[in-house]
Structure 1
Amino acid sequence: MHPSEAALPDSPTPPLQRFLIAVLPVAAASVLGSVATMPNIPTWYATLAKPGFTPPNWVFGPVWTLLYAMMAYALWRILALPKDRPGRRGAVAAFFVQLALNALWSWAFFGAHSPLAGLVVILALLVAIVATIRAFLPLDRAAALLLVPYLAWVAYATALNAAVWRLNP
């Protein structure tokens, strides 16, 4: 085999593949979460007692759209690093763990109609987001910083979830 035919061990993920790996799973998590969430907003969720700091329902769509775009871009940046870069594999794994927890939260809270289950999942999600930011930081500071608004929103959502659980025994 000619040296030019072999993939370089330190080559980054090719651009199209990087785009698909970064965008499709994030879009899938968004859609999966929406499947559990949307039918329950005008029904079950509307009947819950909510704290005074609950935003109007219309706020969630634009906020999550922006956060998902930032998440995908952060992962895209990490995937642009050489594949053998120390920490890259763990950072990508951490990202996908938090992404799975992100989608799972909708099913725990809305799908199962369980603020307590949602609280358990969202607390794990907070830990996973922090772990992802910590894994991204030494690799790409901008990628890590792109996840900070997501962390802030999920921290706010955690407080909201906890209040809903407390108000709806």
Structure 2
Amino acid sequence: MKMNNSIRFNWIYLFIFIIVIEVIGSLSALFAGDIKSIYNGLNLPVLSPPDYLFGIVWPILYALIGIAGYLIYYTPSIQHDKVINYILFGSQLVINFIWSIIFFKYEAYWLSFAVIIVLDLIVLLCIINFFKSSQLASILFVPYFVWIVFASYLTIGVAMLN
């Protein structure tokens, strides 16, 4: 089955990408400790969502990240663009992974704010750079970007209030 006349679509590889990203997100949460209890014990800024919302939003975002990763990996593009996309994709995964641990396990709120600002910038670069290779991958990162910008607000709020 062809998709966009430029990549060969494979459901198995797509599923693997999604599962791997979901597992990375789950491991980050596992290593971060009892996120729900910690979150509920914080002085939270205005507009802080209820704790259950994170358990709904993140799996959806991780699925979108996995789909975008699949598209970036399998869409033919210039080698230089591919390398940049891989570096950006991997970087945002690593930074996303460590943010929860820094914030929840170590309660290093100011450091986690610096980390999430870097994540914001890298995800924005992903959106910009992915667009050259796969417009869909770029678009799939937009909800992720919006959510982590909101998370940046929450992070600085927590840092200031705790």
* Shared fold (TM-score, shorter chain, > 0.5): yes
Give the structure 2 partner of residue 36 of structure 1: 31
RMSD of equivalent CA atoms: 2.3
2:48 partner SS: coil
Residue pair 2:48, 2:154 contacting (<8 A) in 1 also = yes
1:71-104 Cα shifts (integer Å, max 9, x gaps): 1001111112237554122112211100110011
1:29 partner SS: helix
Greater mean alpha carbon deviation, residues 71-80 or residues 149-158: 71-80
Match of 1:96 among 81, 90, 95: 90
- Gaps of at least 5 residues in structure 1 are 1-10
Percent identity among equivalent residues?
A: 27
Q: Partner letter of residue 18 of structure 2?
A: V
Q: CA deviation at 1:29?
A: 2.1
Give the structure 2 partner of residue 131 of structure 1: 125
Cα separation, partners in 2 of 1:18 and 1:93, compared to 1, 3 Å: farther
Distance 2:149 2:54 in 1: 14
Cα separation, partners in 2 of 1:86 and 1:13, compared to 1, 3 Å: farther
Q: Partner letter of residue 72 of structure 1?
A: G
Q: Partner letter of residue 96 of structure 2?
A: N
Give the structure 2 partner of residue 117 of structure 1: 111
Distance 1:31 1:108 in 2: 15
Cα separation, partners in 2 of 1:94 and 1:85, compared to 1, 3 Å: same
Give the structure 2 partner of residue 146 of structure 1: 140
Q: Report the TM-score when normalising by structure 1.
A: 0.82
Cα separation, partners in 2 of 1:13 and 1:98, compared to 1, 3 Å: farther
Q: Please tell me whether Structure 1 or Structure 2 has the larger radius of gyration of its CA atoms.
A: 1
Match of 1:157 among 128, 140, 151: 151
Q: CA deviation at 1:128?
A: 0.9
Q: CA deviation at 1:24?
A: 4.6
Q: CA deviation at 1:115?
A: 1.1
Give the structure 1 partner of residue 22 of structure 2: 27
1:108-129 Cα shifts (integer Å, max 9, x gaps): 1011112112111101100110
Q: CA deviation at 1:26?
A: 1.2
- Gaps of at least 5 residues in structure 2 are 1-5
Distance 1:151 1:72 in 2: 14
Distance 1:101 1:142 in 2: 23
1:21-75 Cα shifts (integer Å, max 9, x gaps): 6335412321222113451421x33321111210000000111111100010011
* 1:52 equivalent in alignment to 2:46: yes
User: When the two structures are aligned, how many residues end up with a matched partner?
Assistant: 157
